[in-house]
Structure 1
Amino acid sequence: MRREQHIRQLVEYARKGKAKTFILGMASLIITGTLIRTVELSQPLLASIGFLGVVPLLVREWKLGTIRRSFNDDKTYRRLVRLPFWLTTVGFIGFLGLLWWFDTATPGITFLIPIAVLVLTVLGLQYAFDRVILKLEPDYITDRELHRELK
């Protein structure tokens, strides 16, 4: 029953936050579209403004971490459960850094290779995180399971 209660709490939060996330994402697209037409900004800067839709994802990861922290009192578990938030943050900052590098320097390699490396690294770390956390807490609900429950 414990696992079902955890899933119910996480699904309830995820369903409540869908509208807010959609509104913030659309606002980001509208702001970016307006800036494209009216302001002389470099393309990478404009693209980074368009990726402000990541902010709702960061809020979501933090809140899911807070809910998941209540499931176990182990110190290691409580620290590790925040890792998805930090992975998302590092990935976002890394992406902005790559955009800055592309805008200020003349990269010798194509821009897609560093982006692919960044994405694969973050996904690999997320996969490793899931394996480690499931050893500490067998009732941990991964994001994949949460998405499956939302459908």
Structure 2
Amino acid sequence: MSKTVLKVFLADDDSDDRTFFSDALREIPIQTKISEFNNGVDLMASLLADDTQKPDVIFLDLKMPMMDGFECLADIRDLEKYADTPVIIYSTSYHPKEITRLNEMGASLYLHKPSSYNQLKTLLHKCLRYVDNSEYSKPEKEFVISI
């Protein structure tokens, strides 16, 4: 693994989902430091702040109030500083047209929220293995990560 500690940003309006995610993240064999955001507006405010350390990966819920995942992704990709930062969509929604649109918009991966804790740990580990190398590259054929 190339990085000592991966900086992970998570934007999700559901506090239970954030807790589930954070707990699972602590149990995988990749060291991480997570910053959680209740919505896309707070995430973007942090990304635009001068003192924010650039995250290694951003997990972005699709269905959030005020600013949804589509809007956040578009804004993130418009910022030169974050043009190469992996953005992984993390959602219960699973609509092929939306997934295709997200891929075209520059999302790195689409993680379909699993129903079990063990599945989440497995999927997070898989996603972070893509990110935890010196030069991130999107998998050739795999965009949707699910069980």
TM range (shorter): under 0.3
TM-score, with structure 2 as normaliser: 0.22
Greater helix proportion: 1
The structure showing larger relative contact order (alpha-carbon pairs under 8 Å, at least 6 residues apart) is 1
TM-score, with structure 1 as normaliser: 0.22
Greater strand proportion: 2
